[in-house]
Chains A and B, each alone.
Chain A
Amino acid sequence: MKRREAIKWTTFWAGAGLVSPAVITALQSCSRGEKKPDWNPLSLSDEEVKRLEILGDIIIPKTDTPSASQVRVAEFIDLIVADVLSKSQGESISHVLTGLGKVKVTGGVKPLEDMETAEQEDTVRKIDMESYADEKKDLWDEAFLKDYRYLKSLILMAYYTSEDGVVKNLEYVVIPGDYQPCIDISDNGKIMVGNHM
């Protein structure tokens, strides 16, 4: 998370002539996997964590609310792979993250992390569309698409049960008081949740 932020800001500063090109190169190279996460993964490899963070931030990017990586979605998924999920559920996750290490591109395969941002987004968008399509195009095999949807649901769950995921996105009301059975929905129509969720 910090690394990605650093690159973004560094690029900004570089544009303003505040950082030397050498620093930019160093940061870019660390985005290519030499640097480990700032927490200790319990079950996923550093490479899997890196891909999970990229995937998470494409599914839930930073908007006016935080991104997946800002609420540490990968760290939570790593934790539940270690302590909560079944072996086969863990394998489904690895299946997706391994698959994202060899995305078919013209003339061969390429890992997600080696793509430019736009290409990464394009790749994930295609996977997502195909995983929900009635007719498959055979770009990805059935099992991969099923596992992708599973991992995506975990990313969304991890995000929307985190503090910022709830407080900054939803109508978070801890003590409603009186139940009002029939009211007009508000303009934003947001889901209301409390601590029961």
Chain B
Amino acid sequence: MQKSVERSFDAIVIGSGMTGGWAAKELTEKGLKTLVLERGREVKHLQDYPTMNMAPWEFKYRKLDSHQVKEEYPIQSRKYNFSEASKHFFVKDNEHPYHFPEDKPYWWFRGYQTGGRSLIWGRGAYRWSDYEFDVHRTDGHGVDWPIRYKDIKPWYDYVERFIGVSGSKEGLEQFPDGEFLEPVKLNCVEVEIKKRIETQYPDRTLIPNRIAHLTKVKPGQFKGRSQCQNRNMCHRGCPFGAYFSSNSSTLPAAQETGNLTMVHHAIVESILYDEQKDRASGVRVIDAETQEVTEYYARVIFLCASTIPSTAILLRSISNRFPNGLGNTSGVLGHYLMDHHKAVGGSGMFEGMLDKTYYGYRPTGVAIPRFVNLKVKESSFSRGYGIWGGASRQGLHFDQEGIGEELKSKMTKQGPWYFSLQAYGACLPYYDNRIELDYDKKDPWGLPMVKISAEFKENEFVMRRHMEEQVREILEVAGLSNIQTFASEPIHGDSVHEMGTARMGRDPETSFLNGYNQSHEVPNLFVTDGTAMTSSGHMSPSLTYMALTARACDYALRQMKEGVI
């Protein structure tokens, strides 16, 4: 048993991923002795990226998923970036069970390790605008965000400067510009298609995607990170630290302060609540390997475990005062689960430009920012979507006619240009899309199993028809041939943007957190991951999570100074 002095800290941060890393950095840099609890194993930047330089032939199955892998990872192996090269950054589903109703599949993608999913994220880094923060006023769904763009803007600036976001300044109200590094460049065909789209539509454009990559390094800014080398192997961990992860950036920054204590294999069973003081007092932790239980104490607690675990921790934190979960008098906790709906897109062949190509494997593509439901409202559905994609020359094509020397010669030649698009749409907050605890079933640590029940509804399905129609139209405007579009069944969780189950709001009766990600009822408890989101938007939420976290830390520090918490 550790001495109690070693178990007391100024702050406890639960989770070390995208937001936990930011909370750790902000709190330690401001002098707080901070404990970061990570339920998974330790993954050190560079040292623990075993596949980062491996060639395809060095993998036993050339990155195909074996029967054994599919058995161990039935959900995780569905993800585009899961393979023999990255599977060690995903959980084994059979070791971490959860359940869902048969008719409502839920795909929960997870990485339990230092840095969490910041190692394997898609790296899209977007500012949300008042078309999102003010959306409730225009359509009445859900509740009103307690913040507007002006409140979060300085924190977007602050986070972008540290993580490095590449992008082009476009002056679009619905897609605010940031403090960008050089944009990734459009290739020849994308430049041509951009021209065609912009000639056809006054309100649509095609721009370089905005991603958290160092396209240029500003000296001293990024703690040993260096410029993107266009290998497009991000999901194995980057030897150059070129994309943002907690491992390469925020956690080393926190470590440097000398104020960080990090404990791995630490599953938070619950947050402790002191009824006399009416404050959260600490956490109860189960060691994932030994099952040993330890308590840690702190003045302030940042819950950053990602939406589903954070919700489960709060639901497990029961007391006389809060029999339905800590800070949950309103009853909203666990409800309004959202995710973006995807699996809508299309592609076609661009004829010509066969004498042109590109050099390198750009780790991203292009974006067509939202153009629906802005100034002019659609009558058939609420909220919006964005489109992403890119052009490339066809590479190795394994299904083509011919044999022998002639085939060998054909095989190695760059094929025609293809251009493809995929759309991502917003999801409304529905009360019955929810996370619950099933006390009849236990996980391997004796904790009630998480049960997730969520589905997309009419607004999303109407929007999807619009998405597919518009994708087709844009591909036609782009002048492509052999156009094919699709809209397959969307699965909740598939976008890995789960959010909204302890939402921010103005009214404690209909929301869990205030405008500073602070519990309405337990003032020294902050929840700054996706759990806090009031609406889903349609763009990757990570940058917003990070900005909200940094902002909440600043607020918590001020409140601590003032003696409020």
- A residues engaging B (CB < 8 A)? 58-61, 63, 65, 76, 79-80, 83-84, 121, 124-125, 128-129, 131-132, 149, 152-154, 156-158, 160-163, 166, 169-170, 174-185, 188-197
> Which residues of B have CB within 8 Å of A79?
60-61
Cross-chain contact A192 with B359 (CB below 8 angstroms): yes
For B399, the closest partner residue in chain A by CB is A153
- Cα–Cα distance between A160 and B408 once the two chains are bound (Å): 10
Among A59, A156, A180, A195, the residue within 8 A (CB) of B231 is A195
Chain B residues with a Cβ closer than 8 Å to the other chain, count: 50
Question: Which chain A residues border B404 with CB–CB below 8 Å?
Answer: 58-61, 121, 125
Most-contacted residue by chain A among B57, B191, B405 (CB, 10 A):
B57
Q: Which of B403-440 contact A (CB under 8 A)?
A: 403-405, 407-408, 411-414
Contact yes or no, A156 B359, CB < 8 A: no
Chain B residues within 8 Å of A76, by CB: 62
User: Do A191 and B408 touch (CB < 8 A)?
Assistant: no
Residues of A within 8 A of B233 (CB): 194-196
Residue numbers in B under 8 Å from A160 (CB-CB) = 396, 398, 411
Task: Name the 6 nearest CB pairs between A and B, nearest first.
Answer: A176-B360, A181-B185, A179-B360, A180-B359, A132-B401, A182-B188
A166 to B153, CA, bound (A): 47
Contact with A along B48-86 (1 / 0, CB 8 A): 000001111100111011111000000000000000000
CB distance from A145 to the nearest CB of B (A): 12
Q: Tell me if B374 counts as interface (CB < 8 A to partner A).
A: no
Please report the C-alpha to C-alpha distance between residue A80 and residue B408 in the assembled complex, in whole angstroms: 23
Q: What distance in Å separates the Cβ of B207 from its nearest Cβ neighbour in chain A?
A: 14
Interchain nearest-CB distance for A67 vs B (Å)? 9
Are the CB atoms of A80 and B403 closer together than 8 Å?
Answer: no
Distance of A58 Cα from B400 Cα, bound (Å): 15
- Name B253-308 residues within 8 Å CB distance of A: none
Question: How far is B414's CA from A176's CA once the two chains are assembled, in angstroms?
Answer: 17
Q: Cβ of B412 and Cβ of A175 under 8 Å apart?
A: no
Q: CA separation between A91 and B159, bound complex, in Å?
A: 54
Asked if B331 is at the interface (CB within 8 A of a chain A CB), the reply is no
B356 within 8 Å of A (CB atoms) = yes
Q: Could you show 9 A-B contacts with beta carbons less than 8 Å apart?
A: A61-B404, A84-B67, A124-B403, A129-B401, A132-B401, A176-B361, A178-B360, A185-B357, A195-B55
What is the bound-complex CA distance between A128 and B104, given in angstroms? 44
In the complex, chain B residues 116-143 whose Cβ is within 8 Å of any chain A Cβ: none
Q: Which residues of B contact A (CB under 8 A)?
A: 53-57, 60-62, 64-68, 184-188, 190-191, 229-233, 354-362, 395-396, 398-405, 407-408, 411-414
Shortest distance between the CB of B144 and any CB in chain A (Å): 42
**Residue contact B62 to A176, C-beta cutoff 8 Å:** no
Contact between chains at B61 and A83 (CB < 8 Å): yes
Using A161-B57, A176-B230 as known contacts, list a sample of 18 further A-B pairs with CB atoms less than 8 Å apart, ordered by residue number in A: A60-B404, A61-B404, A84-B67, A121-B403, A156-B398, A160-B411, A162-B57, A166-B57, A170-B396, A175-B231, A176-B359, A179-B230, A179-B361, A181-B185, A184-B357, A191-B396, A193-B395, A194-B233
- Give the shortest distance, in Å, between B360 (CB) and chain A (any CB): 4
**Residue of A63, A83, A132, A190 with most partner-chain B CB within 10 A:** A83
A195-B56 contact, Cβ under 8 Å, with A84-B65, A84-B67: yes
- A133 CB, nearest partner CB in chain B, Å: 9
B236 to chain A minimum Cβ distance, whole angstroms, is 9
Residue among A80, A149, A169, A185 making CB contact with B414, cutoff 8 Å: A185
Closest CB of chain B to A53's CB: distance in Å? 15
A79, A80, A178, A188: residue with the most chain B Cβ atoms closer than 10 Å = A178
Contacts of B230 in A (CB 8 A): 176-179
In the complex, what residues of B have CB within 8 A of residue A162's CB? 57
* Chain A, Cβ-Cβ closest to B396: A160
Partner of B408, one of A65, A184, A197: A65
What are the residues of chain B within 8 A of A190 when measuring CB–CB?
Answer: 412-414
Nearest CB of chain A from residue B27's CB, rounded to whole Å: 37
Complex contact B411–A184 (CB within 8 A) = no
Is there an interface contact between B413 and A59, defined as CB atoms closer than 8 Å?
no
Interface centre among B362, B401, B403 (most CB of A within 10 A): B403
Nearest chain A residue, comparing its CB with the CB of B232: A196
Which residues on the B side are within 8 Å of A161 (C-beta)?
Answer: 56-57, 62
CA distance A160 to B410 in the complex (A): 13
